[in-house]
Amino acid sequence: MENFDVIVVGAGTSGCISSIFAKEKYENVLIIDKQNKLAKKILVTGNGRCNLSNINVNSKCYNQNIDKYLNEFNVKDTLAFFNKIGLEYYSDDEGRIYPISNSAKSVVDVLTNKIEQLGIKYNLNTEVKNISKTKNKYIIETTEKVFSANKVIVATGGNSLTNIILNLGIKIKNFTPSLVSLKINSSKNLANVRLSNVSVKLITDNQNTYQENGEILFRENGISGICIFNLSAYLSRYQNFNGELVIDLLPFKSENEIIDLLSERRQLNIPINKFFDGMFVKQIGYEILNRAKINEERLSNKLSDNEIKELSTIIKNLNFKVKGFLDNNQVYSGGISLSDLTLNLESKHKGLFFCGEICDVDGLCGGYNLQWAWTSGAIVGKNI
Ligand SMILES: Cc1cc2nc3c(=O)[nH]c(=O)nc-3n(C[C@H](O)[C@H](O)[C@H](O)COP(=O)(O)OP(=O)(O)OC[C@H]3O[C@@H](n4cnc5c(N)ncnc54)[C@H](O)[C@@H]3O)c2cc1C
């Protein structure tokens, strides 16, 4: 059986960076991945552009305080690492960092080049089926061969290796989808409507309220957009999808200002089904009128003050019941608790380390999840 100083299980984001740092100390480092390319996951990130970090990273962007890990390896360290391996990058107005090529492939290329230059071995198309422990070694059973290693880094991402980890006596908090579109009641009539500059509140069934501003997109059976993804993170951490979304269609106007505006618009004297033309897209206009159950045969100057008030309330509070998560989540919430790992992310089994999304750390949209992968991977690689 071939033995290695270090085996890294998973050649994704955290696995690649951890192997590069581990190789500074160990001669024989092997990465194993079931995919056919190193760092394949990175290619789909940031819509193919890879939002690799964010200059505003801080613990508030995560499900818990990770300051002590960020103090070990922060955004500056990440950028210095990428500088050193040849990646050129820039940050946008919101602090999101992208490769200057605007192509995630550039990130994969520089990581691959470094791994090859350092002589780190890798076995692709190879799935790890079990990890067990003998007196002083780890045995890694794969679909191809069985390997042994003095030390192991598990970097297999969210919702992975659950049974293997439980068999090693390590606890895992259930994985739930996060940064995901939400299934809502009655969105069919609004399918494909995109709204910018709205404010969306999520009220969970235990009455916590979270708010995000930005763009949303209605789909046939749900709703998406960065602010919805971020709100899904709160539902996910609370391990529940029961909640209500309340959309404020005009967050920059108070309800009284909207009442004044609609009262004035009455004078347009047009059929009520055209009342919102010029103010909202048709589907939204119909949705507001339907919810107010207002007869579309009349002319707008026949709208009563009460009806104007009702329409204004709906504009400020267009609410939907959340029915579940849709597919294609960007990350998983849940995983191995940081309190069950040392500061260097070593488990209770000496020489067995975990990094990336398999740990119970999840962040909002904006480069925070990849930053956790770089931070945790670097910490493990440097300290193994
Ligand atoms: C569509 C999409 C877009 C995203 N965009 C962004 C973004 O722009 N910015 C951001 O910060 N985050 C983004 N993310 C999240 C980010 O990709 C993850 O947080 C990050 O990749 C997690 O890193 P990781 O190293 O833990 O796992 P991964 O990068 O997922 O790597 C895990 C690796 O382990 C391998 N593996 C798993 N099980 C086994 C096994 N049994 N045997 C062998 N190999 C195995 C997998 O093949 C994979 O290569 C996005 C995610 C998705 C899905």
Q: What is the CATH number of the domain that holds 338?
A: 3.50.50.60
Spatial separation of the C-alpha atoms in residues 152 and 355, rounded to whole Å: 11
Are residues 119 and 150 located together in one domain of the fold? yes
> Beta strands 2-9 and 29-32: pairing type?
parallel
Q: How far is the CA of 43 from the centre of ligand 1 (A)?
A: 10
Specify the pLDDT at position 295.
73
Q: State whether 138 and 241 are in the same domain.
A: no
Q: Could you tell me if 74 and 156 lie in one domain? A: yes
Token readout for 129 is 């089926």
* 182-184 and 331-335 strand pairing: unpaired
Are 20 and 161 within one domain?
yes
Q: Compute the C-alpha angle 18/22/26, nearest 5°.
A: 160
- Are 344 and 321 in a shared domain? no
Q: Quick one: pLDDT at residue 126?
A: 98
Which is the closest atom of ligand 1 to the Cα of 47?
3
Q: How far apart are CA 180 and CA 229, in angstroms?
A: 5
* pLDDT tens digits for range 80-109: 999 999 999 999 999 999 999 999 999 999
Ligand 1 closest atom vs CA 53: 11
Q: What is the pLDDT, as a whole number, of residue 62?
A: 97
The DSSP secondary-structure symbol of 225 reads S
Domain's final residue, options 328, 354, 371 = 328
- Asked if residues 122 and 31 have their Cβ atoms less than 8 Å apart, the reply is yes
* Any ligand 1 atom below 6 A from CB of 118: no
pLDDT given for residue 310 in this prediction: 98
123 lines ligand 1 (CB under 6 A): no
Query: Distance, CA 155 to ligand 1 centroid (Å)?
Result: 9
Shared domain for 27 and 171, answered yes or no, is: yes
**Predicted confidence (pLDDT) per residue in 26-47, tens digit:** 999 999 999 999 999 999 999 9
Q: Same domain, yes or no, for 204 and 340? A: no
Query: How much distance in Å is there from the Cα of 135 to the middle of ligand 1?
Result: 32
- Residue 359: the pLDDT is 98
Residues 51 and 124 in one domain: yes
Which segments of 222-291 does DSSP mark as H helices, in order? Answer: 226-237, 255-265, 282-291
Structure tokens at 253: 């106007």
Same-domain check for residues 158 and 299: no
Q: Look at the chain and report how many structural domains it folds into.
A: 2
pLDDT at position 205 is: 83
41 Cα to the center of ligand 1, angstroms: 5
Domain shared by 170 and 188, yes or no: no
Do 19 and 155 fall within a single domain? yes
Q: Which domain holds residue 153?
A: 2-177+332-383
Q: At what angle do helices 75-84 and 368-383 cross, to 10 degrees?
A: 70
DSSP state letter for 359: B
Partner residues linked to 121 by β-bridges: 30
Radius of gyration of the chain (CA): 25
Task: Map residue 305 onto helix, strand or coil.
Answer: helix
Amino acid identity for residue 159 in this structure: N
C-alpha–C-alpha distance, residues 141 and 160, integer Å: 16
Q: Please give the distance, rounded to the nearest whole angstrom, from the Cα atom of residue 373 to the centre of ligand 1.
A: 9
**DSSP letters spanning 52-97:** -EETT--GGGBSS--HHHHHHS-HHHHHHHHHHTT--EEE-TT-EE
Residues 93 and 194 in one domain: no
Among 301, 328, 355, give the residue marking a domain's end. 328
Domain end residue (candidates: 284, 306, 328):
328
Q: Which residues of the chain have pLDDT under 50?
A: none
Token digits of residue 300: 């707008």
CA separation for the pair 195, 186 (Å, rounded): 17
Ligand 1 atom 21, closest CA: 13
Smallest CA-to-CA distance from 199 within 319, 94, 119, 113 is with 319
